[in-house]
Amino acid sequence: MINRTTMSEFVLLGFSDIWEQQILNSMVFLLIYLAAVIGNLLIIAVVALDCQLHTPMYSFLFNLSFLDLCYISVTIPKMLANSLTNTRSISFFGCVAQVFLVISLAATECAFLTLMAYDRYTAICFPLHYRMIMSKGTCARMAAGSWVSGILYSVLHTGNTFRLPFCHSNVIGQFFCDIPQLLKLSCSDTYANKVVVIIFGVCLALGCFVFIIVSYIQIFSTVLSIPSMQGRRKAFSTCLPHLMVISSFFGTGSFVYMRKTSASSSYWDLLASVLYAVLPPLLNPVVYSLRNKELREALGRVIARISFPKCGRSIFKLT
């Protein structure tokens, strides 16, 4: 019979055993974390405070920034705390919470990236019917459906993983709790778990990616038929930032998926997880703030409103 030992805590290996390198890594990730938090909070504040951005596109962007803010906050702060205190432990229930939050936030972000592609498709291909199709009620239901589906997807994988007994070891070769690493620690047969992870993961990622690609094929075919060069430029400036975010998220996610299914070294596992868990939340605010003219103008209006509250109305009229 298998000796089923209940784990009270897990050990996260992190990036290095050397204290000096841990401090250096902590400083780098602290800067990355602060940049991601400030950038996403800035987008959230601008969209919330500027009435001109209360549209379906920016409501989805608001949710996306909130997701990225939570997504990077689930893993990096714990890693920083462990590095600065020279500890590596995470409690069993802390590991469960981390797995649940990472999966639910990642799945919900996939759904919102898909909704943003559909929003751009509707706005460009059916501009006259856009307000009717993307009404407030419809957008609210789609946003709620994305959150609920992400949570249910995470409940499936989290429950499927932590129902297993862990008795081989409690050492996780990552800087956060990750399902492929946890499956290696189980003393029971994990074949069914791996099949579930692969099937549902492929269905989610492939379904969202195909829908996004089909939407953008229709978008680009419509944009190329616009006679006005200014209209083409405006449409492309709206779509290109979204495509960059999608490429980074799905690209790094696919890279992680391929590495996890192969017999890769711990170095590549760590690198792939950094690209997947850290890069998208950092890249999203940079892309949308630097390449989106409407968002930059809205930021100027918000700053003007805060700095010059008495003459804010006249400033808005001039802009």
Domains of the chain listed by start with CATH number: 9-318 (1.20.1070.10)
Query: Are the CB atoms for 165 and 115 separated by under 8 Å?
Result: no
Query: Cα–Cα–Cα angle for 260, 187, 204, nearest 5°?
Result: 35
Q: What is the pLDDT of residue 267?
A: 66
Query: Are the CB atoms for 285 and 40 separated by under 8 Å?
Result: yes
Other residues' Cβ atoms within 10 Å of the Cβ of residue 9:
13
Query: Cα–Cα–Cα angle for 290, 292, 298, nearest 5°?
Result: 100
CA dihedral 279, 283, 284, 285 (to 10 degrees): 130
Q: What is the pLDDT of residue 37?
A: 93
3-state helix, strand and coil shares in percent for the chain, rounded to the nearest 5: 80, 5, 20
Q: What is the pLDDT of residue 67?
A: 93
Order of strands, sheet of 89-91, starting from the edge strand that comes earlier in the sequence: 89-91, 9-12, 171-172
Running along the chain, 319 residues long, what does each successive block of 10 average in pLDDT?
58 75 85 92 88 86 92 91 83 92 92 90 88 90 94 92 82 83 81 81 84 87 75 68 73 63 57 79 78 74 71 44
Backbone angles phi, psi at 123, to 5 degrees: -65, -35
Which helix (H) or strand (E) segment holds residue 319: the answer is: none
Q: What is the pLDDT of residue 69?
A: 94
Q: What is the pLDDT of residue 294?
A: 77
The closest of 217, 168, 128 to 11, measured between CA atoms, is: 168
Q: What is the pLDDT of residue 310?
A: 56
Alpha-carbon distance of 200 to 153, in angstroms, equals 9
The closest of 185, 143, 177, 176 to 158, measured between CA atoms, is: 177
Alpha-carbon distance of 100 to 177, in angstroms, equals 10
Q: What is the pLDDT of residue 147?
A: 95
Question: What tokens does 300 get?
Answer: 């100027």
Alpha-carbon distance of 207 to 156, in angstroms, equals 18
Alpha-carbon distance of 26 to 219, in angstroms, equals 43
Q: What is the pLDDT of residue 270?
A: 74
Alpha-carbon distance of 156 to 172, in angstroms, equals 21
